[in-house]
Structure 1
């Protein structure tokens, strides 16, 4: 019932002004939002790779309108990483629907695991309105394991002092390999399943999910931003 009410209340229909009005009511906004998405069967509504890319493009438009500059997409199997050129084209097309052809926001799509970046306009450099990072299972525990092995080998070869290995060093390396920790993580599935999302990167992250939800929709998105705007971060010393 709660989900039905949310969907009836919040349905922007690609209206930038409605989204901006919703966001201006919030006390604070995250700078980095992450979303866990599932690859649905091709026969399902909005399923397959095309459906997944469509969901990402909608999230990208909402975040640009909200003024949030960083989006992290997590899909367990890494299918999105194989379709970056299609993702860039679809996000560009969707942004035109929201903003028109004269003021299309700029964006970049990063794949940290391969150190690859694709830009909506190749001449942009790093000056973009939105950065989309694409993660999968290999960016989680396997990356931590690989970093541990590398540090162990460097220490054994006396190329790295054991005294220099610290939480700060591990954090610095993982940020370099995977990216910064998101402020808000939205799980769009029907259950709270983090699907091996990089564990190091959710130590202080606010997590939101809506029981019974099965797809990417604006009602869940704005509800997540509302929860984040009301949360109080208490970091221990």
Structure 2
């Protein structure tokens, strides 16, 4: 006998199909097994992890293959470019050879519409085992460059060498410049020159004319300044500290510390900004060249060249003569 609930008489259902549709609901065997045996769940995760790991490895090898392919093509391109540059430089060296004759150099530069008033060059101290390397190779490069600059009608040259080797061997440099000028201009008409180290505020006249007032008072044909890494950022930092100390001691007003003041001080410490900088280096790198002195300078660099040759020197002057300079525009 059925009992009414809230006035409603319950209905008895003998067939479960009437409750759950045409098919009775049965629990999944896999579901039951996974609940009963956790190893099945772990093996499933492991299978998914292995599948993902294989995919990651495939992508890893694919990306490496792409990178190796790009690197291979770039290496071939760079090798061909290097060979092409070296062959071109060899032909330039054959085409332009001053033969230690100043008149040939003058004839070459007289064809140019303009020349820089102040020239600078970045040189490298190459290893001893390389051709033209070592200390004496550097001396030869610096003296050759001085002679070409003078023969071109340029009276101011600054030579930058990172380590300061030339600064530390001024006497050897003076002798090398004197010998090179004698070879080009003859023993009876050797031009007068002065070697300066702006950072130390010292000057050396000719081969051995430091105490010769007549030599000093005479017209100097070329002025050679020696620069190194200590003339770069370190000098600016040193000047900044000095000005800060003076301002702290009330010896100078902060209002008087202007761009013109800093420019004047750095000019005294390093020299005047060059119009043209030639980089005789295998890579386009300034190597710590004084940053304050390159604001308006033009640069010339020949790819894959580290030799100081007349052909590169002349090419730099030719490029400078055709460039358009817009100061402050």
1:20-39 paired onto structure 2 within 5 Å: 20-39=106-125
State how far apart, in whole Å, the 2-side matches of 1:39 and 1:4 are: 22
Q: What do you get for the CA RMSD once the two structures are aligned?
A: 1.1
Corresponding residue for residue 166 of structure 1:
258
- Is 1:64 the counterpart of 2:150 in the alignment? yes
What is the alpha-carbon distance in structure 1 between the residues aligned to residue 296 and residue 274 of structure 2? 8
1:180 correspondence with 2:272: yes
What residue in structure 2 maps to residue 101 of structure 1? 187
Counterpart among 314, 317, 321 of residue 222 in structure 1 = 314
**Corresponding residue number in structure 2 for 1:80:** 166
- Counting helix residues as a fraction of each chain, which structure ranks higher? 2
5+ residue gaps, structure 1: none
For residues 125-168 of structure 1, give each alpha carbon's deviation from its aligned partner in whole angstroms, at most 9, with x where no partner exists. 16310000000000000000000000000111111111111111
- Counting only pairs closer than 5 Å after superposition, residues 1-237 of structure 1 correspond to structure 2 as 1-120=87-206, 121-122=209-210, 123=212, 124-125=215-216, 127-236=219-328
**How big is the shift at 1:2?**
3.0
Total equivalences in the alignment: 237
Q: SS at 1:125's partner residue?
A: helix
Give, in whole Å, the separation in 1 of the partners of 2:306 and 2:145: 15
- Gaps in structure 2 of 5+ consecutive residues: 1-86
Q: Distance in 2 between matches of 1:97 and 1:77?
A: 29
Structure 1: distance between partners of 2:251 and 2:128:
50
Matched residue SS, 1:117: strand
After alignment, is 120-129 or 226-235 more displaced? 120-129
- The structure whose RCO (Cα within 8 Å, separation 6+) is larger is 1
Distance in 2 separating the partners of 1:2 and 1:43: 24
TM-superposed deviation, 1:51: 0.8
Deviation by residue 1:35-91 (Cα, 9 ceiling, x = unmatched): 000011122211111110100110111011111001100000111111101110110
1:115 deviates by: 1.1
Return the TM-score normalized by structure 1.
0.97
Q: CA deviation at 1:4?
A: 2.7
